[in-house]
A = this chain, B = another copy of it.
Amino acid sequence: MEFEKKEIVKKSEDFSRWYTDVILKAELADYAPVKGCMVIRPYGYALWEGVQKHLGQAIKDSGVPNAYFPLFIPHSFLEKEKEHVKGFSPELAVVTHGGGKKLAEPLVVRPTSETIMYPMFAKWIQSWRDLPFKINQWCNIVRWELRTYLFLRTLEFLWQEGHTAHATHEEAEEEALARLEMYRRFVEGVLAIPTIVGKKSGAEKFAGAEDTYTVEALMPDGKALQCGTSHNLGQNFAKAFEIQFQDKNGQLQHVYQTSWGLSTRIIGALIMVHGDDNGLVLPPEIAPIQVVVVPIGEKSQMSNLKFQNHISNLKTDLETAGIRVKIDDREERSVGWKFNEWELKGVPVRIEIGSQEIKNKSVTVVRRDTGEKSQIPNPKSQTEIERILDDIQQNLYQKAQKSLKENTHEVGDYAEFKKIMSGPRGFIKAFWCGSAECEAKIKEETKATIRAIPLKPEKTLGKCVFCGQPASSRVFFAQAY
């Protein structure tokens, strides 16, 4: 009965419904009874814990400790950096009453933490000896938004935000680019999602930043999704919040800053990029369960000691190799139900063990990504399954990379640009003159924005795809989530 409930629409048929179906039925998340909000259920939260483990380790290994700053920001703090408050004002949740009384000054629920962190930076940073100063925070963020799109657009989301202060502009720029590279490596290496990296245009950059860098990925419906972002804040906030240090010559100087973040949005990308008609497909590196073992056969046989030893030995072997294994020995579910359930949940490898396998001293292994089935002799199961998991990780990346290549169009002609953006979409690589006007017109007519300006400039530049004037760069356009 519950089996029928788990059916999902085909990915090719209705992508948006498929996405929601997968999330709800694989129990990654659910709609909350508060408008705009979602509940992250255990299986979805386990993915976020995977992000925290991998990315958290990379952040710590790079010498950035975690800390925690207040949820509430006095509105006057937000106003100190003019661009910043302008950018975030339309998205604020405001606390006006506390402890039964009206507040003298309303408090904003953090939409990002620059303005609550930096007064502390001003206090803690005194001398060049205190620099570079680096801190990271894992927390919840609120940006007012009532049209929920699970993981991608919710009123509240979870993220990590890193903040650093440096003695020179050059160091801040280096830091911002190093974080961009950290995100790229994580998204490509752990999540198996190929990316395009680059700088944002003036229209798309973070409110208050000098420059914003981005890691972008392409979704199967041809829309781009920002996976992580890193800002060189220059001295904008340092001047607004008086963050000064005494340099080696005894002179007071404003620091140069960066901030960088990656959020639970990334889970949306993970689902979209790899999933198929049967549900989730998880890259082994991030999969909460990498191998599920389903015993097959009569109940009497399954309670057989030899049978049980076979399974528990296999589990021990795999766990010794650091593989995350689950034995699904639920009696109330049929084998077919279990196969469907674990396919829906995207577990990379399924192992079947029945009387045939016991007799042959082997296991039957089924890959989630290709559906391929193979027999592996017992003594080899550990190394062979490690190999298969590696292979799945690579295969998923390669498939996604092939799709990214096929859907990145080099376009010189605006008519073609418009046609692609109304049709298959994807990334368009095109010359741009650098004017905000052309950018705005293109957006208006095609819904496409500049997603990334490549960090390495082209050797030869053509003409702007919109206005025909000499281009300043060749950039990636796309419609975006």
A interface, CB within 8 angstroms of B = 30, 32-34, 37-42, 45-46, 48-49, 65-74, 77, 89-100, 106-107, 109, 116, 119-120, 123-124, 129, 135, 139-140, 142, 144-146, 155-156, 158, 332
Top 10 A-B pairs, shortest CB-CB distance: A99-B144, A42-B65, A40-B68, A37-B70, A94-B97, A98-B144, A96-B96, A33-B119, A93-B98, A32-B70
- Whether A68 contacts B95 by the Cβ 8 Å rule is no
* A32 to B33 Cα, complex, angstroms: 32
A125 to chain B, nearest CB (A): 13
**A65/B46 contact (C-beta < 8 A), A116-B34, A144-B99 known:** yes
- Interface contacts beyond A30-B123, A140-B140: sample of 8 additional A-B pairs, CB < 8 Å, sorted by A: A32-B70, A33-B120, A39-B69, A42-B135, A70-B156, A92-B98, A97-B106, A139-B140
A362 to chain B, nearest CB (A): 32
Residue of B nearest to A48 (CB): B68
* A32 to B119 Cα, complex, angstroms: 9
Q: Which residues of B contact A72 (CB under 8 A)?
A: 34, 37, 93, 142, 155-156
Q: Which residues of B contact A146 (CB under 8 A)?
A: 99
The 8 Å CB contact of A49, one of B66, B90, B106, B135, is: B66
- What secondary structure prevails in chain A residues at the interface with B? mixed
Q: Which residues of B contact A98 (CB under 8 A)?
A: 92-94, 144, 155
A-B contact pairs, 9 of them (CB 8 A): A33-B116, A34-B70, A42-B65, A42-B66, A46-B66, A70-B156, A90-B99, A92-B98, A92-B99
Residue of B nearest to A140 (CB): B71
The 8 Å CB contact of A116, one of B32, B90, B129, is: B32
Oligomeric state, in copies: 2
- Whether A65 contacts B45 by the Cβ 8 Å rule is yes
* A38 to B95 Cα, complex, angstroms: 18
* A91 to B99 Cα, complex, angstroms: 5
A305 to chain B, nearest CB (A): 25
**A120/B45 contact (C-beta < 8 A), A70-B156, A72-B37, A95-B94 known:** no
- Whether A67 contacts B96 by the Cβ 8 Å rule is no
A183 to chain B, nearest CB (A): 22
Q: Which residues of B contact A155 (CB under 8 A)?
A: 70, 72, 98
- Whether B100 contacts A93 by the Cβ 8 Å rule is no
A141 to chain B, nearest CB (A): 10
**A67/B42 contact (C-beta < 8 A), A33-B77, A332-B129 known:** yes
* A240 to B109 Cα, complex, angstroms: 29
- Whether B32 contacts A45 by the Cβ 8 Å rule is no
* A49 to B71 Cα, complex, angstroms: 19
* A148 to B116 Cα, complex, angstroms: 17
* A37 to B72 Cα, complex, angstroms: 9
Q: Which residues of B contact A144 (CB under 8 A)?
A: 98-100
